């Protein structure tokens, strides 16, 4: 907020001008927020209701009770959220490092098999993962005999599985961005005798912060919300991630505790929003663009 204000020192606009320049944007913003928020208001309302449903509880916020939130402590919920934060943070950091390294190689070097590798990366993610659980189980079983810490029911094993998907679209996202950093910059550095590692860390990585933040966030969110892979890998409730635990709550629709579920989901959204708040200034800062020009 404060930054937006300081960055926008502008002469007073007349109302008409203001609307033409900015006002309509607010209008769109409000409409989109309504579109975003209706289902979420519904979830929030359900989370505040003792015996909540996901269908038919149409009178929103009739009852405001924090019983569901209190009940979260009776479950392993807080434990799960810590697990999720641990797993997703490491996955996000790992993904950013691996994908940016790969994008650096693709954008700065011409090597044999370059295009083939890029194509391969793209095609691998086209594979429908629906049957993955059988193969994944066997793989982790085999790994467990050798590296127990990477095997079944290990959170680090799960991080490794997620890192297996780190390249994919993230590399492309970064690659597109890396290409916009002028080559003259690293060529100049190279002439000065900088090594490729120095160029990577000292020049490129600083200039591409927005995309690093975007990839980190995307990776964090996708591992935070994944339950398909996580539920194969993690077997005991003390290891579960939030998504697995909550998926189990919802699995038996006859007895699913929807109120608890809604409360859990509302709390689960908080880390993501905080992370976005934190990363936002990197994502939308104009500073990097200036850096490139300079």
Partner 1 sequence: MRRGISIAAISALALTMAACGSSDEAKEDTQQPAPAQSAEGDGSAVAGELTIWADDTRSSQVAELSKDFTDKFGVKVNVVQKSESDMDKEFISQVPTGKGPDLIVLAHDRLGSLVSNGVVGTVDIADKAKDFSEAALSGVTYQGQTYGVPYAIENVALVRNNQLSKAEPKSFDEMLAAGKEANVEYPFIVQMGDKGDPYHFYGFQTSFGAPVFKQDDKGSYTTELTLGGEKGEAFADWLAKKGNEKVFDPAITGEIAKQAFLDGKAAFTVTGPWNVSAFREANMDITVLPIPAAGPEAAQPFVGVQGFFPSAKTENQLLVNKFLVDYLATEEAQQKMYDLGKRVPAMPAVAAKISDPDIQGFSEAGKSGAPMPAIPEMSAVWDFWGITEVDVVTGKQQPKEAWSTMVTNIENAIKK
Partner 2 sequence: MDQSTVKTKRFDRFDLSWGFWVKVALMALINALGVYGLLAAWAAESYLTLAVVLVTLIIADVIYFSRRFIPAKYLFPGLAFLLVYQVFVMGYTGFVSFTNYGTGHNSTKADAITQILAQHQKRVPGSPTINTTVVEKNDKLSLAIWDAEKKAVLVGNMQHPLTLVEGAKANDKAITEVPGYQVLKFADLVKRQQEVAGLKAPLTDDPNDGFYVTTDGTKGFLAKSDFRYDEEKDELLDTTNNVVYQPNGEGAFADPEGNTIMPGWRVPVGFANYTNMAHGSDLAWPFFNALVWSFIFAIFSVVSTFAFGLLLALVFHDKRIRGRKIYQSLFILPYAFPAFLSTLVWKGMLNTKFGFINEVLLGGAEIPWLTNGTLAKVSILGVNLWLGFPYMFLICLGALQALPEDIMEAAKIDGAGPIRTLFSVKLPLILVSTMPLLIASFAFNFNNFSLIYMLTGGGPNYPGASLPVGETDILISMVYKIAFEGGSQNYGLASALSILIFLVVGVISYFGLKRSNAMGED
Q: Which of residues 188-217 bind partner 1 (CB under 8 A)?
A: 195-198, 200-201, 205
Tokens of residue 27, six digits: 């209008």
Binding of partner 1 by 163 (CB under 8 A): yes
Among 25, 26, 29, 148, binds partner 1 (CB under 8 A): 148
Kindly state the smallest distance separating residue 66's Cβ from partner 2, in Å.
19
Residue 189 has, within 13 A of its CA and on its CB side, a CA count of: 15
Q: How far is CA 214 from CA 20, 81, 100, 138, 219, in A?
A: 30, 22, 12, 33, 8
Q: Under the criterion CB under 8 A, does residue 277 sit at the interface with partner 2?
A: yes
CA–CA dist 266, 69 (Å, integer) = 10
Min separation Cβ 237 and partner 1, Å: 5
Closer Cβ to partner 1, 243 or 279, answer by number = 243
Asked whether the beta carbons of 250 and 167 are under 8 A apart, the reply is: no
Does 240 sit near partner 2 (CB under 8 A)?
A: no
Pick what 121 binds: partner 2, partner 1, none; C-beta below 5 to 8 Å, kind-dependent: partner 2
| List 67, 85, 93, 139, residue binding partner 2 (CB under 8 A) | 139
Q: Which of 28, 70, 82, 188 binds partner 2 (CB under 8 A)?
A: 28
Residue 284 binds to partner 2 (criterion: CB under 8 A)? yes
**Considering the rule CB under 8 A, would residue 254 count as an interface residue with partner 1?**
yes
Q: Does 58 bind partner 1 (CB under 8 A)?
A: no
Neighbours of 57 (CB within 10 A): 18
Spatial CB neighbours of 15, under 8 Å, sequence gap ≥ 6: none
Segment holding 104, helix H or strand E: helix 77-108
CA distance 288 to 196: 21
167 binds partner 2 (CB under 8 A): yes
């Amino acid at each position: 907020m404060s930054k937006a204000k300081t960055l926008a020192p502008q002469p007073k606009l007349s109302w008409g001008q203001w609307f033409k320049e900015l006002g309509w944007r607010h209008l769109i913003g409000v409409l989109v927020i309504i579109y975003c928020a209706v289902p979420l208001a519904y979830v929030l309302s359900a989370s505040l209701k003792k015996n909540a449903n996901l269908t038919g509880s149409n009178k929103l916020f009739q009852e405001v009770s924090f019983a569901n939130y209190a009940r979260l402590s009776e479950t392993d919920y807080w434990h799960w959220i810590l697990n999720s934060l641990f797993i997703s943070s490491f996955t996000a950091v790992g993904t950013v490092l691996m994908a940016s390294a790969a994008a650096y190689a693709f954008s700065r070097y011409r090597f044999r098999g370059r295009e083939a590798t890029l194509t391969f990366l793209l095609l691998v993610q086209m594979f429908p993962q629906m049957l993955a659980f059988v193969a994944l189980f066997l793989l982790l079983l085999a790994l467990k005999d050798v590296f127990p810490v990477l095997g079944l029911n290990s959170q680090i094993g799960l991080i490794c599985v997620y890192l297996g998907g780190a390249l994919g679209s993230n590399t492309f996202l970064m690659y597109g961005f890396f290409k916009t950093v002028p080559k003259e910059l690293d060529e100049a550095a190279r002439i000065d005798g900088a090594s490729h590692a120095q160029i990577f860390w000292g020049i490129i990585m600083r200039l591409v912060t927005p995309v690093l933040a975007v990839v980190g966030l995307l990776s964090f969110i996708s591992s935070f919300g994944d339950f398909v892979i996580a539920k194969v890998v993690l077997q005991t409730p003390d290891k579960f991630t939030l998504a697995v635990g909550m998926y189990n709550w919802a699995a038996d629709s006859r007895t699913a505790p929807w109120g608890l579920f809604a409360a859990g989901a509302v709390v689960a959204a908080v880390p993501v929003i905080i992370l976005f708040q934190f990363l936002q200034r990197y994502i939308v800062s104009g500073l990097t663009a200036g850096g490139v020009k300079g």
